[in-house]
Structure 1
Amino acid sequence: MADVWTRRGGDRAPSAEDRGHVPGPLVGRERELQDLRTLLENHRLVTVAGEVGVGKSRLAAEAVADVVALGAGECVLGAGERRPAGEAIAGVVAQGPGESVRGVGEDRIAAEAVAGVGARGAGPRIMVVRWSEGGQDAGCGAGPGSPASLTAAVMEAAAGIHGRRGAAGVGAVADRLRAADVLLFLDDVDPVHAECVGMVQTLMEFVPSLRVLVTTRRPLGLGGEAVLRLAPLSVEPVDGHGTGPAAELFLDRFLDRSLERAGASFDADESELSSVADICRYVGGLPLAVELAAEQAARSSVGEVAERLKEHQCWLSAPDMAAPRHRSLRDAVAAPYVLCDRDERIVWARASILAGDFDESTAAFVCAGGGLAPARVPACLTRLAAVGVLTPVRDPGGIREPRYRMAPAAHDFGGERLREAREFEVAAERRAIHFHRVAALAENLWSLGSQPQAVRLVLDEAEGLRAMLEYAPRQPELAAAALESVLNLWFWWAVYDAADEGRRHLLRLLPMCRSDTLLIARGLCLAAWLTAYGDPYGASELLQHAWSAAVLAGDDATIGRIAHVQGMLALHEGDLERATEQFQEAANTIPPHVSGGLPPAVSLAALAVTQTQQSPRAARRSVRRALSQPGIRGDAWACLVARYAQAFVDHSDGRTGRARLRAHRALAALDGRLPAPHGCAALRDLITDIDRGSRSGLPTAAVPRGLTGVAIPKQADSGILG
């Protein structure tokens, strides 16, 4: 039977106010709890590591409670007060120390335990020592501990003497622990991490019977250490049905708190459950943030909390939470921040401008400056990842740089520090410059025949590109760089079914740029192309302004691409003669090897499709011209479109076997690891028509009424690109 050594911070028995609320049941941690039990059974040193608020202490307390509960009925707390063993351990670890503890010396150590577990038997004795918040400003996080403070706290708990903490050596602690079978539970020891490493190493060497369980944001790094890395709860359902573990935790805490407040209610309809899922997604499944959000939802409404969390989450708080360090998400995240050095704090704040995943070179460019050399940034990233501020999303090593993602709460906290330092606008400009280069590189890769690499680059940097483009209209001097980035990503919007997003960015940025630049002509043409199928009337208006700007700029490529879009509109209106003329003009006007938009081979393929019914021979000539264009073999998408036109013409001529073979070959040439480009669906429909023995008609569609509010650009400042 386990024997738990009890010590409260004061000499009196703990009151209900000291203890606060007993923690609710563990939710969504069944597998991790079983893994921790197994590790405790098979290893002398076990560390539960993870970011702040992920539930390390709660999980470890539950595992320790299991050790206590083996044959134990009750625990005695103070003057005859009894509580179940598991509840006692969990409650002691989860609650904050009493005022008397915070006032003892400068060490800010609370030595806590539970006494009198049944009859003292042969089982292990359990001693809990937790570093607590110090002083009145505990919410800002505890700073580094004073020398030997952890060792003194362990000695105090082992000796059972409170308030007379002296300079105790590790040897004296080892002598105290050697006589018993002890499980030493060191909880939340990050402020004394270095001391903890040395003390545990010595105790493990000189006390063979000792077992140690540690919770910390980064492992101790000792030999024989078994590490359980705790990740946030999954937002998605485990089996694909029902609610995910994060949503289950929210609902459990929300319903529990709702019972304590009059008027709180919850209608579990689809809308409310969707809001719960959104909340869990916004906070990244972090258990502390989920519980604080549930507390706020019990005070207001689930929908209101979800709306507020869209923008920010550090405002989450619950003043009556048992543990002081858990009463505010901002204060919880501040705990690792105060332990960071100057460079790490700068990198944390400046890297918060980056959305989604980013690599070392991106962070080095954005974060360097003001006394911080680029060469020091990677080491800061590694240290921030060690304490859970950053999460590695790709294993480091090899030829690829490591990539990181900042935890949502840390991201918002870093953004607050960035604004306090008045560096947000500078960081946003550096981000715009970087992702402008990324977009230019992607376009170069695409135009030079490395289209799979271009698509992978955009996929990797999609969230960062999107954040830059969304923010650019708020800082007008960034508009020109953002517009050029949108134009360089034309292939992503047009070829990979992201037309709505690309069109939205264009229509927001075009009015902010100078109307006499080549960018405007290209932007209006691309906007018309992306608008053509959804709003032909709006596209026609855009084309009129684009044509004038392109003629004034003498841009033959844009003039030819305008003709191509006009051919698209004519084709969908059923005007084959006009469509043929426009596609012919586009094919003759767009110069070969000109980047920044669709190549002449695509216009020739469209021309062949329109010629099929009226002039099959001309259609075959157009297909041959498309497939013989310079660079067609290196342009996978243009080749795919041309192969579709070739199979379409063959099928129309009755050569179904050849048409089927060519269509299958065109599809087989695609990289299945990448999104399907525009044209794949048409090829599959063509194969279906061939298999059914039916003729494929021209791709026509009903023309809807124009509903787009088109903003035509006016004279504006030129921006950072001039």
Structure 2
Amino acid sequence: MKYPNVWTPAGGCEGGPGSRSGRAGDLVGRAAEVADLRAALDGHRLVTVAGAAGVGKSRLAAAVAGPRAGGPWRAMVRVRWHDGVPVGPGALTARVVRALTAAAGDPPGPRNADATEAASAVSAGGLLLVLDDVDPVHTECAGLVQRLLMAVPALRVLVTARRALGLGDERVVRLAPLAVDCPAGAPGPSPAVELFLSRARGGPPLTDDDLPDVTRVCRLLEGVPLAIELAAGQLVEGTVCELATRLETDQCWLTGPGPLLRRHRSLRASLGAVHALCDETVRRVWHRAGVFAGPFTEAAAVQLCSGDGIEPHLVPSCLAVLSAAGVLQVIGEPGVVRPHRYRMTRAARDFGAERLSRAGESQEVLVRHAIHYRGVAAVAETLWNMGLQHQAAQIVLDEHDELMALAGRPQGRTDGSDESAYTTNALEAVLHLWFWWAAHERGAEGSRLLLGLLRHVRTDSPLVARGRWLAAWLITAQDPWTAQRLLDLAWPTAVMAGDDALLGRIAHVRGTLAWQRRDPEAATRAYRAAADTIPEGAAGGPRAAVSLAALSVVQAQSSPEAAVRTAHRALARPDNHDDAWAAALAQYALAHADHRAGRTGRALRRVHRTLARLDAEPGAAPQARTALLRLLDHIGRACGTSPEPAGVRRPFVPVPRAGAPAPSTAPEDSRQG
């Protein structure tokens, strides 16, 4: 199916591309909002349409309160605060008086004419006063509206602004961006995609094959109609896929010809209009908070944004102002047990990053960001080592966007002469999260981040050996040659430093590599050395119980009784009691040994009990849970209780590979470590 590239001059969003006089045009995906606004005007004397810049507030108001819209009023007077009008005391009042006087057919009066008298002269039979785009005169507007409503009973007022007036009888209709995804089972494209298709111009007609890229563009633009219309006008210069790729790095470059209001001619100008109405402290908090890649807490913002002239106690109020202006979105409810979070829109982040770079503060703020989230990662690791593993995983999930952004933008030099404080803190954060990469089957992601950061760190840094060991552990299944090379580089540093924990963990990875090479003798020696070398309670990596569990599985192939004794040793270690992941792996090893020794019923009971304990703490050790489920499936098939279709033979991996997801296929006697 082809979608013709249609350009509707009257359809610009809130004065957007093609909108010459603020006419309503068509309202794509706004049927519910139109109904809500009509109902609000029927039942309330003061209604405010509030929302962020570019969501279509003026368009919605024009559609509902237009001359032919109908309603409980006989006359409608509209006053719009255009760009370029100087703001002074009483400026809005003077414009309202002139508009009301003209509507009454009277000659212009003196500049200080009373607004209530002018409104009373027009209000016979009902009057709707529309005050559009009043953000530059927000305070004066609130006072004027309050006086008019008290003095003129037949008056109704409709206001469009980024935030509500805050008056007692005010009914607020909040306008959100367009939905990017359709509800399940809904026919046709989503409202955001439909708007893009209707505004696309230039280039070949769009087809069904382009819809995924169109959806991607709309998602990157977060459903903001003005941004979507500006983006749709860029197809003259490239494809939708190229447009989406460019929008991933920056959005403020979007521009479009024609709109009457200057702030709607580009996304940068639209955000600049909001920026101009903020005081200097709020602006600087905006710039610095633009470093956050995802949702963030008030405490994180205070640490990142305070300093250099901004007192910590001022940051929360600045966040509230930015939320009211639509720059920040509030996630969660203020005052509840779980702290609410803020999230900055992508376009506002890009705008803030530009201003932060222009002020020369980018590097300093990025280092603060890295220091803060290195501390967050350290807290998560501490909770993991204390046995609060579900809470540790929850912290990583809550801060996932920031932690991934932290590790994904190294700031050091590539010649090895020096590394930045940002990169050092980022590498420490990734190392603190070893449990996330290993126990939560995120090995590919963790190794990619580690290898990217290690390129920007001096080779004599004490963090490099730990980074090489962890990267090697995470890629043993995918790239054993690189893993072996990384271990060879990390070993001398660990020996010179006398780091027994690191030496033991290097031995563990060597055991895994030997097991993959089908060398059980070498694997046994390496796993035993790891279990004997890793000190009790050593932080920064897996405990000795994990090495004992791996040793038990290796022994089970030739000596099930020795494997049972080794697994019991793993379970008996004092530091294993608070580690649900290590304990589950030890139970896996013991169940595997029981199964190899012919005690299948005992193995099944052990697996079910361990899975029940893991179910009581969801998310604590998904890697161990996966290994147990695979063992359960294997035992069931071996006993004939889980028949396979003819000709189909599922794999079984006898040793759970910590730090990497199990392969989808492997021979029955594969030796994965």
**TM-score category (smaller protein):** 0.7 to 0.9
Could you tell me which residue of structure 1 aligns to residue 311 of structure 2?
A: 373
Could you tell me which residue of structure 1 aligns to residue 29 of structure 2?
A: 28
Is the Cα–Cα contact under 8 Å of residues 51 and 162 in structure 2 kept in the other structure?
yes
Is the Cα–Cα contact under 8 Å of residues 473 and 509 in structure 1 kept in the other structure?
no
After superposition, the Cα gap between the structure-2 partners of 1:560 and 1:18, relative to the gap in structure 1 and judged at 3 Å, is: closer
Is the Cα–Cα contact under 8 Å of residues 566 and 579 in structure 1 kept in the other structure?
yes
Could you tell me which residue of structure 2 aligns to residue 698 of structure 1?
A: 654
Distance 1:459 1:697 in 2: 28
After superposition, the Cα gap between the structure-2 partners of 1:35 and 1:672, relative to the gap in structure 1 and judged at 3 Å, is: farther
Aligned equivalent of 2:197, options 244, 251, 268? 251
Could you tell me which residue of structure 1 aligns to residue 90 of structure 2?
A: 148
**What are the residue-to-residue correspondences of 1:12-411 with 2, within 5 Å?**
19=20, 24-65=25-66, 68-70=68-70, 123-134=73-84, 145-160=87-102, 166-239=111-184, 243-254=189-200, 257-258=201-202, 264-270=203-209, 272-411=210-349
After superposition, the Cα gap between the structure-2 partners of 1:653 and 1:183, relative to the gap in structure 1 and judged at 3 Å, is: farther
Shift of 1:269: 4.4
Distance 2:432 2:259 in 1: 51
Distance 1:411 1:568 in 2: 44
Aligned equivalent of 2:561, options 610, 613, 617? 617
After superposition, the Cα gap between the structure-2 partners of 1:517 and 1:316, relative to the gap in structure 1 and judged at 3 Å, is: closer
Question: Deviation per CA, 1:572-608, whole angstroms, max 9, x where unpaired?
Answer: 2322222222111111111110010011111111111
After superposition, the Cα gap between the structure-2 partners of 1:358 and 1:549, relative to the gap in structure 1 and judged at 3 Å, is: same
Question: Deviation per CA, 1:400-419, whole angstroms, max 9, x where unpaired?
Answer: 43310111111111111111
After superposition, the Cα gap between the structure-2 partners of 1:462 and 1:614, relative to the gap in structure 1 and judged at 3 Å, is: same
Distance 2:19 2:444 in 1: 56
Is the Cα–Cα contact under 8 Å of residues 48 and 229 in structure 1 kept in the other structure?
yes
**What are the residue-to-residue correspondences of 1:349-498 with 2, within 5 Å?**
349-474=287-412, 476-477=419-420, 478-498=422-442
Q: Secondary structure at the match of 1:41?
A: helix
Matched, 1:593 2:537: yes
Q: Secondary structure at the match of 1:397?
A: coil
Distance 2:22 2:42 in 1: 30
Is the Cα–Cα contact under 8 Å of residues 156 and 162 in structure 1 kept in the other structure?
no
Question: Deviation per CA, 1:260-315, whole angstroms, max 9, x where unpaired?
Answer: xxxx2134243x32221221122111111111000112443322221211111011
After superposition, the Cα gap between the structure-2 partners of 1:349 and 1:123, relative to the gap in structure 1 and judged at 3 Å, is: closer
Q: Secondary structure at the match of 1:473?
A: coil
Could you tell me which residue of structure 1 aligns to residue 444 of structure 2?
A: 500
Distance 1:353 1:162 in 2: 55
Instruction: Pick which of 157-166 and 605-614 moved more.
Output: 157-166
Is the Cα–Cα contact under 8 Å of residues 177 and 207 in structure 1 kept in the other structure?
no
Could you tell me which residue of structure 2 aligns to residue 709 of structure 1?
A: none
Aligned equivalent of 1:580, options 508, 519, 524? 524
Shift of 1:177: 4.2
Is the Cα–Cα contact under 8 Å of residues 24 and 253 in structure 1 kept in the other structure?
no
Shift of 1:542: 1.0
- Where does the alignment leave 5 or more consecutive residues of structure 2 unmatched? 1-17, 414-418, 641-651, 656-661, 667-673
Distance 1:24 1:629 in 2: 72
Is the Cα–Cα contact under 8 Å of residues 391 and 406 in structure 1 kept in the other structure?
yes
Distance 1:581 1:162 in 2: 101
Is the Cα–Cα contact under 8 Å of residues 54 and 286 in structure 1 kept in the other structure?
yes
Is the Cα–Cα contact under 8 Å of residues 503 and 530 in structure 1 kept in the other structure?
yes
Calculate percent identity across the aligned residue pairs. 48
Instruction: Pick which of 633-642 and 374-383 moved more.
Output: 633-642
Could you tell me which residue of structure 2 aligns to residue 685 of structure 1?
A: 630
Q: Secondary structure at the match of 2:524?
A: helix
Matched, 1:668 2:612: yes
Counterpart amino acid of 1:268? T
Matched, 1:659 2:600: no
Shift of 1:175: 2.3
Is the Cα–Cα contact under 8 Å of residues 446 and 454 in structure 1 kept in the other structure?
yes
Counterpart amino acid of 2:195? L
After superposition, the Cα gap between the structure-2 partners of 1:634 and 1:20, relative to the gap in structure 1 and judged at 3 Å, is: same
Shift of 1:70: 4.5
After superposition, the Cα gap between the structure-2 partners of 1:291 and 1:162, relative to the gap in structure 1 and judged at 3 Å, is: farther
Distance 2:482 2:42 in 1: 69
Shift of 1:253: 1.0
Distance 1:165 1:677 in 2: 76
Distance 1:471 1:697 in 2: 36
Distance 1:214 1:251 in 2: 30
Could you tell me which residue of structure 2 aligns to residue 551 of structure 1?
A: 495
Q: Secondary structure at the match of 1:171?
A: helix
After superposition, the Cα gap between the structure-2 partners of 1:19 and 1:562, relative to the gap in structure 1 and judged at 3 Å, is: closer
Shift of 1:676: 5.8
Shift of 1:216: 0.9
Distance 2:108 2:238 in 1: 44
Distance 2:292 2:320 in 1: 17
Counterpart amino acid of 1:207? V
Distance 2:637 2:62 in 1: 65
Counterpart amino acid of 1:68? R
RMSD (Å), alpha carbons: 2.5
Distance 1:18 1:401 in 2: 42
Distance 1:123 1:210 in 2: 8
After superposition, the Cα gap between the structure-2 partners of 1:43 and 1:659, relative to the gap in structure 1 and judged at 3 Å, is: farther
After superposition, the Cα gap between the structure-2 partners of 1:251 and 1:560, relative to the gap in structure 1 and judged at 3 Å, is: same
Distance 2:519 2:612 in 1: 33
Distance 1:389 1:222 in 2: 22
After superposition, the Cα gap between the structure-2 partners of 1:489 and 1:206, relative to the gap in structure 1 and judged at 3 Å, is: same
Is the Cα–Cα contact under 8 Å of residues 19 and 259 in structure 2 kept in the other structure?
no
For these two proteins, the number of residue pairs brought into alignment is 621
TM-score of the superposed pair, with normalisation by structure 2: 0.87
After superposition, the Cα gap between the structure-2 partners of 1:129 and 1:442, relative to the gap in structure 1 and judged at 3 Å, is: same
Q: Secondary structure at the match of 2:222?
A: coil
